[in-house]
Structure 1
Amino acid sequence: MPHPFGNTITAQDIIETMSSFTSWEERYRQVIMWGKSLPKMHDELKQEQLLVSGCESKVWLVSEFDGELWNFQIDSDARIVRGLIALVLAAFHLKTTAEIKAFDTQAYFAKLGLIDHLSPSRGHGLKAIVEQIQQLVEQS
């Protein structure tokens, strides 16, 4: 099961990279770069029932659970949202149910210093993506 970044980038890697920047503009550019590095979801997967509700942009979420690890494919039609998806995937992709349940997303996003700089609708959308993943994991 390949990692969306081609190699494994962790939430800790994201935090370390983001904390090395001094300005919001540098962080924003880095988030966009991570989004560009994500593979595009195949068009046949971009179906209405896979849309994440609560997102202003279109966001599609596909999940698979092999009994041990969760595999997520997430895509968006918006550049910045693809970058935010990269942050989410670093935290949740190829993780166990226990790891996902134990992950403190509020602390993670606080360490990244992003939420305060996102528009309310982008912040809402980011939370909607995380909540949908958490619901999928809870239902398994």
Structure 2
Amino acid sequence: MSLPQTAAEALDAFDQCHGWEQRARLLMQWGERLASLSEAERCEGNRVQGCESQVWLIGELRDDRWRFRAASDARLLRGLLALLIARVDDLNAGELAAVDVADWFARLGLSRQLSPSRSNGLNAVLQRMRELIAQHR
């Protein structure tokens, strides 16, 4: 499966990084790309369970393609969310079901920096995405 354009851009950008400091800086910059959620959208119904930090996720289905928006109070997590969304945005349900989060972050060179709790949190976000899709079937 080919990567969405934004995911390919992320992969190119992270391939240029030499070392964790550059990756961390780039990760923070990606976090700034997240569209902000309104206070009303930061409600309990949109909160992702299973994350240590506060994470809210909204998914919208348009023309059989999913678009996601997310927010978090944690700066590093915002970057990870932005990269996850870059990987899954504009996919259909079947394509999204096949996404391997661990592989994606390994390709970006970020897997070593994913603590078990962050990794579990990102998997919880992906699981919530899949739940949103299941609700629309």
Report the TM-score, using the length of structure 2 for normalisation: 0.86
Secondary structure in 2 matching 1:95: coil
- Per the alignment, residue 106 of structure 1 pairs with 102
Give the CA RMSD over aligned residues: 1.8
Secondary structure in 2 matching 1:71: strand
1:69-109, Cα deviation, whole Å (9 max, x unpaired): 11211111111111011101101122222321233333211
1:27-46, Cα deviation, whole Å (9 max, x unpaired): 11101101012221111111
Structure 1 residue corresponding to 2:34, chosen from 28, 32, 38: 38
Secondary structure in 2 matching 1:29: helix
- Per the alignment, residue 135 of structure 1 pairs with 131
Structure 1 residue runs of 4+, over 6 Å off?
none
- Per the alignment, residue 46 of structure 2 pairs with 50
Q: Percent of pairs identical after alignment?
A: 37
Q: Which runs of 5+ in 2 are unaligned?
A: none
Structure 1 residue corresponding to 2:56, chosen from 56, 60, 79: 60
Aligned residues: 133
Structure 2 residue corresponding to 1:79, chosen from 75, 81, 98: 75
1:112-134, Cα deviation, whole Å (9 max, x unpaired): 12121123222221121112212
Quick check: 2:102–2:111 contact (8 Å CA) kept in 1? no
Report the TM-score, using the length of structure 1 for normalisation: 0.84
Structure 2 residue corresponding to 1:96, chosen from 92, 98, 105: 92
